[in-house]
């Protein structure tokens, strides 16, 4: 039995007799509505994440980086306040890249993004280009790659310039997409020598497209590797890409 139904059944069983009658009637009406096709029930895993809501349960360690209300957690490269436009609970890229004010090591990151629609004559890197940089060092590319049957290392969800996604999970432009990223930072010994490469797993719209991939050096435009943690960076590549519902869970 799905968890939501089990919880509902347990609540009915524990309810006082008078409450059980009312609850039982409500459940019968609910079942009838579902059977008639007039109501769609969604579990928490199926519910769209949306601005300000969580795609996964929050265990108390989550850091909200953007919930649609302000960009206080972000800054431009020179340390000035973030000036991206806020539109319907989303932040639209403009005026340069953004970096988090906080630095991170190992992490789980959730990002939702929306890509504008371009005419067919706009091609390649001009189609809704942006990127998510982990520790300001390693870029997971954002691009309109919908319908592309030959994913490449410079297209959507690629570890930029290094590895194409294992599959193309893109949805059409003007729809919200998600990256769920698990990142393990590079390791350094007591003398500052690198002892282990960074690694990343990426789920794109619910499909795993990178599984524990080794990151042996920064991607193009990334900061130099080092033992210190680094910020999350959102790239402004001159296209009006939008972001919403960004959160992070440090894991180390």
Helix, strand and coil content of the chain, in percent to the nearest 5, comes to 15, 30, 55
The pLDDT profile of the chain, 252 residues, written as one tens digit per residue, is: 444 444 444 444 444 444 444 444 443 444 343 333 333 333 333 333 433 333 455 666 899 999 999 999 999 999 999 999 999 999 999 999 999 999 999 999 999 999 999 999 999 999 999 999 999 999 999 999 999 999 999 999 999 999 999 999 999 999 999 999 999 999 999 999 999 999 999 999 999 999 999 999 999 999 999 999 999 999 999 999 999 999 999 997
pLDDT of residue 57: 55
Nearest to 140 by CA among 151, 124, 125, 155: 155
Give the pLDDT score at 59: 61
Residues 137 and 146: their CA atoms lie apart, in Å, by 26
Helix (H, G, I), strand (E, B) or coil at 227: coil
How many distinct structural domains can be found in the chain? Answer: 2
45: in domain: no
In a domain, 215, yes or no: yes
CATH number of the domain that 100 lies in?
2.60.120.560
Cα–Cα distance list, 159 to 57, 61, 101, 179, 210 (Å) = 27, 27, 24, 13, 9
Give yes or no: residues 31 and 67 share one domain. Answer: no
Kindly state whether residues 143 and 191 are assigned to the same domain: yes
Q: Which residue's entry shows tokens 């280009």?
A: 129
- Domain identity same for 168 and 222: yes
Report the candidate in 132, 117, 168, 125 with the shortest Cα–Cα distance to residue 147.
Answer: 168
Residue 190 and residue 80 share a domain: yes
91 Cβ neighbours under 8 A, 6+ residues apart: 66, 71, 82, 84, 85, 242, 243, 244
Q: Are 16 and 83 contained in the same domain?
A: no
User: Does one domain contain both 139 and 236?
Assistant: yes
Contact 68, 51 (CB under 8 A): yes
Residues 27 and 68 in one domain: no
Inside any domain, residue 46: no
Query: Does residue 50 sit within a domain?
Result: no
- One domain, residues 16 and 123: no
Judgement on whether residues 104 and 14 belong to the same structural domain of the protein: no
State which residues form the domain around 23: 3-35
Let me know if residue 40 belongs to a domain. no
Q: Strand, helix or coil at 34?
A: helix
Residue 165, classed as helix, strand or coil, is: coil
145 and 90 together in one domain: yes
Give yes or no: residues 18 and 94 share one domain: no
pLDDT at res. 61: 86
Same domain, 67 and 184: yes
Give the separation between CA 13 and CA 81, rounded to whole angstroms.
Answer: 54
């Amino acid at each position: 039995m799905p968890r939501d139904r089990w919880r509902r059944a347990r609540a009915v069983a524990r309810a006082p007799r008078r409450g059980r009658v009312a609850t039982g009637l409500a459940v019968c009406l609910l079942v009838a509505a579902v059977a008639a096709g007039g109501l769609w029930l969604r579990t928490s895993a199926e519910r769209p994440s949306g601005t300000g809501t969580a795609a996964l349960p929050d265990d108390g360690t989550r850091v909200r980086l953007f919930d649609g209300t302000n960009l206080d957690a972000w800054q431009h490269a020179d340390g000035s306040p973030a000036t991206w436009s806020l539109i319907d609970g989303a932040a639209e890229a403009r005026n340069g890249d953004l970096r988090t004010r906080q630095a991170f090591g190992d992490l789980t990151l959730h990002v939702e993004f929306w890509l504008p629609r371009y005419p067919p004559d706009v091609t390649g890197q001009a189609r809704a280009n942006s990127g998510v940089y982990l520790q300001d060092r390693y870029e997971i590319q954002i691009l309109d790659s919908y319908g592309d049957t030959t994913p490449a290392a410079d297209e959507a969800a690629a570890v930029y310039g290094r590895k194409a996604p294992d599959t193309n999970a893109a949805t059409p432009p003007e729809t919200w997409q998600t990256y769920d990223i698990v990142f393990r930072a590079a390791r350094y010994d007591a003398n500052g020598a690198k002892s282990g490469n960074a690694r990343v797993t990426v789920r794109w719209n619910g499909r795993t497209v990178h599984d524990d991939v080794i990151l042996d050096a920064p991607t193009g435009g990334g900061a130099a590797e080092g033992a210190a943690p680094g910020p999350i960076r959102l790239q402004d590549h001159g296209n009006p890409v939008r972001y919403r519902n960004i959160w992070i869970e440090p894991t180390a």
